[in-house]
Structure 1
Amino acid sequence: MAVTQEKLTALQVMQDAPVIPVIVLNDVKHAVPMAKALVAGGIRMLEITLRTSVALDCMRAIAAEVPDAVVGAGTIRSAADAKAALAAGARFGVSPGYTSTVGKTCQDIGLSLLPGVATGSEIMMAQEDGFTELKFFPAMQAGGPNLLKAWAGPFTDVRFCPTGGVSLENAPQLLALPNVVCVGGSWLVTPQDLANGDWAKITQLAKEASALSR
């Protein structure tokens, strides 16, 4: 069944599956079969990072041809990025850090945002602008589970999606924390699997990710 086009909240994006794949695409022809492979494995929320010149074209292709997928845009660093992503079919955005300009632009244009944070001050800045579902990035490099446990005290109303250094092996430790809703990871879609067109492997990795407990 195709995903409805109603506005999604950040929490709905986070709750859809235990893992949001962080995807870097360098070839538009990979976009649709890759998205279909992930959806077949139970992963619908797809973060296409704005790190390549074809990222927006890939989003357009997925939005047009894979109705069961929900296109998201990663690496949003400016208001222009947010607007371009929305125009390309993105229904949620993810940023590596947080500025009020990015946050308020996404609110104004109706693009759900997972703002990136790595410090208590950044969490407070995002909260001031109304964001309580946040991306913790780079998670493992910045403190991992121990920092998330420490944040659980002062930030009882904040929920996180740790991303950065997350793998199938350490994801369960993160997902077991009460303030973690999902994780973000790049292991579901690797450059090698894209180059080889190994869609069956991507589906299998998506199934494994979908089965993680939280």
Structure 2
Amino acid sequence: MNVPEVLGQHRLVPVIVLDDAAHAEPLAGALAAGGLPIAEVTLRTPAAVDAIARMAAHGGVLVGAGTVTTVAQVDAAVRAGARFVVSPGFSEPVVRRCQEHGVFALPGATTATEVMAALAADVTVLKFFPAGTSGGAAAVAALSAPFGQVSFVPTGGIDAASAGDYLAVPSVLAVGGSWMVPRKLVAAGDFARVTELVAESVAAVARPA
């Protein structure tokens, strides 16, 4: 499965914080039912790796690991079934380990220096993080100018109201956010409402500008 193609097709990446791995499978079902079969499960809770394994076993979504900062975390995520790995910044050891495993690496970058380091490691799709406090859509557009071969996935501080601004930038492949998978709703087990929010987000992205 080509991860960039999936990102470009759906244009949204739900960024998920799971406190209870038991919620992983119903959440995967909610994402699939809402029309967004992709998930970035952040390694911010003790339940994260188990949750990745359960979502991967569900089979209805392309699941990745987020907030990955070490080679050991790459190994754990891949063992659990992650198909892509997202990092807040650029780490060559993390990227190289992903390449060794054959999984897609999506490291973060907000400066020209970081983009050039990523290109030297054969990475052409980058997370722009934290987007909201790093200049927003205008900054992505400006950074794209000298790097026409790079695509970006802005994440951080993006919500339903601002997602369209980023997606209007030609170099933006997709945007990441949590507005369609609120932590409180997931913790409460309200997957019917999560499905509704996901479906609304998918429809908003599909709507012509």
On whether the aligned pair clears a TM of 0.5, the verdict is yes
Asked if structure 2 preserves the Cα contact closer than 8 Å seen for 1:24 and 1:49, the reply is: yes
Asked if structure 2 preserves the Cα contact closer than 8 Å seen for 1:138 and 1:163, the reply is: yes
Aligned residues: 206
Structure 1 match to 2:147: 155
CA shift at 1:195, angstroms? 2.5
Deviations 1:8-35 (CA, angstroms, capped at 9, x unpaired): 3441242131210000001011111111
AA in 2 matched with 1:17: H
Structure 1 runs of 4+ aligned residues shifted over 4 Å read none
Measure the CA separation in 1 of the matches of 2:59 and 2:3. 19
Unpaired runs of at least 5, structure 2: none
Structure 2 match to 1:3: none
Structure 1 match to 2:22: 29
Structure 1 match to 2:160: 168
Normalised to the residue count of structure 2, the TM-score between the two structures is: 0.95
Normalised to the residue count of structure 1, the TM-score between the two structures is: 0.93
Deviations 1:129-173 (CA, angstroms, capped at 9, x unpaired): 000111000001111111112112101111100000000000011
CA shift at 1:45, angstroms? 1.3
Measure the CA separation in 1 of the matches of 2:9 and 2:31. 13
Asked if structure 1 preserves the Cα contact closer than 8 Å seen for 2:133 and 2:157, the reply is: yes
Measure the CA separation in 2 of the matches of 1:179 and 1:15. 11
Structure 2 match to 1:114: 106
User: Which stretch of the first structure deviates more once superposed, 167-176 or 13-22?
Assistant: 13-22
RMSD over aligned Cα atoms:
1.2
Deviations 1:90-113 (CA, angstroms, capped at 9, x unpaired): 011111001111111111111111
AA in 2 matched with 1:92: F
Asked if structure 1 preserves the Cα contact closer than 8 Å seen for 2:31 and 2:38, the reply is: no
Measure the CA separation in 2 of the matches of 1:129 and 1:9. 19
AA in 2 matched with 1:46: A
Measure the CA separation in 1 of the matches of 2:3 and 2:86. 10
Unpaired runs of at least 5, structure 1: 1-7
Alignment match of 2:170 (pick from 167, 178, 181): 178
Asked if structure 2 preserves the Cα contact closer than 8 Å seen for 1:19 and 1:184, the reply is: yes
Percent identical: 44
